[in-house]
C-alpha cells in the first residue's frame, strides 16, 4: 500500500536511510500516491528538533464552531510560513510571519528530500493519545495541488490512516514513528482522505509538521 519513488530520484536523498518503504504488490514504474521514508531523521536529530519546536513555537489551541457550538480543537497548532502568506483553517485566516532563522536547516532538508520548495508549514502538537485529527484532505484552494506535501513526525508513534474517497473500503494504516517522513504526491489529496485517530494508550507527545506549497494571491 505504500507509494514509491522512482530509482532515478533516490540520488537526491542524503543517506541510505532514504530508501522508501514500498509494498510487495506489483506496481507501475511511476510514483504512487505517497512514499514513506522511515527514520528519515536520526533518533538524536529527531529528539533535538522535537525539543526545539516544543519550546520555541507559540502554540495555540483555536476555537472551532461545530453545530453552532464552539470547541477547542483536540490538539495544539501553529502556522509558520513566508512573510504575508495567508492560509485559512479552523475557521480563521492565518498569516505567515516569516521563517524563524533556527527553522531554516530543517526546511532546507525537507525541500531537498521532497524535490520541492515549500513556503508554508502547519504544525500540530498532540499532547497524548487523546489529541487527534479527523478525516480530511489537504485540498484547500490556497494549496498548490501540483506540488507534493511532506509530513514529518517527531515523538510518539501515532497511526496515520488513509481512506479512498471513491471507495471507502480501500484503506491504509501507517504507524508513523519518531523521525519518519511521509510524502504525499500530487493527486493524493484528490483520491484519499487521511486522519490521526485517538489512541488512549499513547501517553507521550507527538509533533507533526506538514510542509505545503501555497499559491500566492
Q: Which has more confidence, 83 or 18?
A: 83
Strands (E), 31-179: 34-37, 63-66, 69-72, 76-81, 86-89, 92-95, 120-126, 133-136, 149-155, 158-164, 171-176
Is the pLDDT assigned to residue 4 strictly greater than 70?
Answer: no
Q: Which has more confidence, 18 or 74?
A: 74
DSSP string of 62-79, one letter each residue: -EEEETTEEEE-SSEEEE
What is the DSSP-derived secondary structure letter of residue 24? S
SS3 181: strand
Beta carbons of 194 and 163 less than 8 angstroms apart: yes
Decide if 54 is inside a domain.
Answer: yes
* Confidence (pTM): 0.86
Decide if 27 is inside a domain.
Answer: no
Decide if 21 is inside a domain.
Answer: no
Q: Region 162-166: what's the mean pLDDT?
A: 96
Decide if 26 is inside a domain.
Answer: no
Domain that holds residue 208: 35-212
Decide if 202 is inside a domain.
Answer: yes
For the chain, the average pLDDT equals 86
What is the DSSP-derived secondary structure letter of residue 156? S
Number of domains the chain contains: 1
For 51-65, the pLDDT digits (tens) are 999 999 999 987 777
Decide if 114 is inside a domain.
Answer: yes
Decide if 197 is inside a domain.
Answer: yes
pLDDT band at 12 (very low <50, low <70, confident <90, very high): very low
CATH number of the CATH domain containing 81: 2.60.120.590
Question: CA 120, CA 107: separation in Å to the nearest integer?
Answer: 10
71-80, 88-97, 139-148, 195-204, range with the lowest pLDDT: 88-97
Q: Which has more confidence, 27 or 186?
A: 186
pLDDT band at 5 (very low <50, low <70, confident <90, very high): very low
Query: Which has the closest alpha carbon to 188: 158, 145, 153?
Result: 145
22-26, 67-71, 211-215, range with the lowest pLDDT: 22-26
Grid-cell match 500516491, residue found = 33
Decide if 194 is inside a domain.
Answer: yes
Neighbouring CB atoms inside 10 A of 153's CB total 27
Residue 3, C-alpha cell as written in the block = 507509494
Instruction: Characterise 47 by phi-psi region: left (phi > 0), alpha (psi -120 to 50), beta (else).
Output: alpha
Amino acid at each position: 500500500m505504500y507509494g514509491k519513488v522512482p530509482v532515478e530520484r533516490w540520488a537526491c536523498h542524503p543517506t541510505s536511510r532514504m530508501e522508501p518503504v514500498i509494498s510487495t504488490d506489483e506496481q507501475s514504474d511511476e510514483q504512487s500516491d505517497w512514499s514513506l521514508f522511515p527514520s528519515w531523521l536520526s533518533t538524536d536529530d529527531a529528539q533535538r528538533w522535537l525539543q526545539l519546536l516544543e519550546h520555541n513555537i507559540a502554540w495555540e489551541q483555536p476555537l472551532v464552531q461545530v453545530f453552532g457550538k464552539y470547541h477547542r480543537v483536540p490538539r495544539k497548532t501553529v502556522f509558520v510560513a513566508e512573510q504575508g502568506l495567508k492560509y485559512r483553517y479552523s475557521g480563521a485566516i492565518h498569516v505567515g510571519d516569516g521563517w524563524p532563522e533556527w527553522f531554516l536547516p530543517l526546511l532546507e532538508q525537507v525541500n531537498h528530500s521532497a524535490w520541492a520548495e515549500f513556503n508554508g508549514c502547519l504544525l500540530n502538537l498532540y499532547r497524548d493519545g487523546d489529541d487527534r485529527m479527523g478525516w480530511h484532505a489537504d485540498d484547500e484552494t490556497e494549496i498548490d495541488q501540483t506540488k507534493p506535501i511532506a509530513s514529518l513526525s517527531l515523538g510518539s508513534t501515532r497511526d496515520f490512516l488513509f481512506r479512498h474517497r471513491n471507495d471507502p473500503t480501500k484503506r491504509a494504516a501507517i504507524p508513523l514513528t519518531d523521525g519518519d517522513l511521509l510524502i504525499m504526491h500530487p493527486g493524493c489529496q484528490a483520491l484519499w482522505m487521511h486522519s490521526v485517530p485517538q489512541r488512549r494508550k499513547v501517553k507521550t507527545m507527538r509533533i507533526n509538521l506538514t510542509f505545503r506549497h501555497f499559491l500566492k494571491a
